[in-house]
Chain A
Amino acid sequence: MNVLKRWLGSVPIRGKLMLFSSLTSGMALLLAGIVLTVADYHSGRRALIQRLQTQAEITARNSSAAVAFDDAQAATHTLEALSADRAIVSAEILRMDGTLLARHGRDMDETARQFPSIGEAHTEPDGLIHVNTDVQLDGRIGRLNLWATSAELKVKLIEHSAILAGVILGALGLALLAMARLQRIVSAPLVRLAKTTQRYRARATTACAWNPLTPMKSGS
């Protein structure tokens, strides 16, 4: 801390002004960036869940006939259409009694089917997002489960963080350039004042060094 204080003390006024301005601007930018990134991540997650729920609803409607006629082949065929969405890692259709009718993708264990309740999303311990919906045909005849990875959110988060870092660095660079020019307005009078003070001190020192007993030289 003392080292920092000593170093700050040695920095000229111009440098100090630029440093403190950069620090405050940088902190404000960083804070705004973090808030925006977190908000963006949550918004992306909500959008992903909504997308998954829509996919689940559409697939459940399209598979109602297959479930009604217990046609595993047709149900699997319907689920295969979900492979168009890269986020979906597993999809399955359960009969009314909870037995498996069709599956596409990864085999999920029994505990993964426990949650969530219909229309809600649940994040599994391995980070997968799980949504489900009922397969209806004049009442509930089955259930559709979907699991999706949130990898696209992480990729977006990294991209946004990189963009944010670039924007902050660029903004700080521009701010420093602007400050280097503008700081003169503030620091120049101060520098002049400091110089005047120094000169005055130098004169005062000279005056104090005058001895009345010493005869004045003519013309001084």
Chain B
Amino acid sequence: MRRAGILAALTGLAGAVGFSPAGFADEAATRREDQLKAAYLFNFVKFVEWPASVPTDVLTVCFVGGEGVHDALASGIDSKRVGPRRLAVRQVQESASATDCNVLYLDAAVVPEGRVSSQDRLPILTVSDAKGFARSGGMIEVFTDSNRLRFRINIDNAQQAGLRISSSLLQLAASIEKAGPK
């Protein structure tokens, strides 16, 4: 009886602040998807080799948008390492330079058309959930297929930037694009 009262009070409170059970579910699903994307991002970097000229002590992942993914990756970052490299994350503005980033995550909301500049072919791994990203100058495009997160890789764009993507990762890709941006 008391429990039912508490539940009613919580439901009322949620309603008062504009939340509904469906809203909670959506939020949980979005958080789950962000966590999954962060996990994928963390795994991607383990299968990519940067040129020898890139410093090997810290691996910086920059985010343009994608706060949820950023927060998920930033959670417990002290324990996250990529080989000998420490992981660092930071948010950057769309217009800002990303020259000191090793990985650049572009949120679909920020680059809806999926077209990115080639970043002057700097050794930066570009990842996005924007549609057509891999065909528009990007390297890894993350998408949802049958409730499953998948990805396609543009190997030419990666090679032109001096990045080597492991064959193990290529095997898992839904498709491998070879042509550069048209």
Seen from chain A, the residues whose Cβ lies within 8 Å of a Cβ on chain B are: 62, 64-66, 68-69, 71, 74, 137-138
Contact = CB atoms under 8 A, between A and B. Distances in A.
B91 interface: no
Given A138-B82, A138-B83, A74 B171 contact: yes
A86 B172 CA distance: 27
Nearest to A62: B168
A66 B166 CA distance: 12
Given A137-B46, A138-B46, A65 B82 contact: no
B9 interface: no
B166 A65 contact: yes
Interface residues of B, number: 12
Nearest to A61: B168
B168 A65 contact: yes
22 contacts: A62-B168, A64-B168, A65-B47, A65-B168, A65-B169, A65-B171, A66-B168, A66-B171, A66-B172, A68-B43, A68-B46, A69-B43, A69-B172, A71-B172, A74-B171, A74-B172, A137-B43, A137-B46, A138-B46, A138-B81, A138-B82, A138-B83
Nearest to A63: B168
Counting from the closest, the 9 A-B pairs by CB-CB distance are: A65-B168, A68-B43, A74-B172, A71-B172, A65-B172, A65-B169, A69-B172, A137-B46, A69-B43
Interface string B78-98: 000111000000000000000
A137 B82 CA distance: 9
Nearest to B151: A69
Contacts of A138: 46, 81-83
A64 B40 CA distance: 13
A66 B173 CA distance: 10
A66, A68, A74, A137, most chain B CB atoms within 10 A: A68
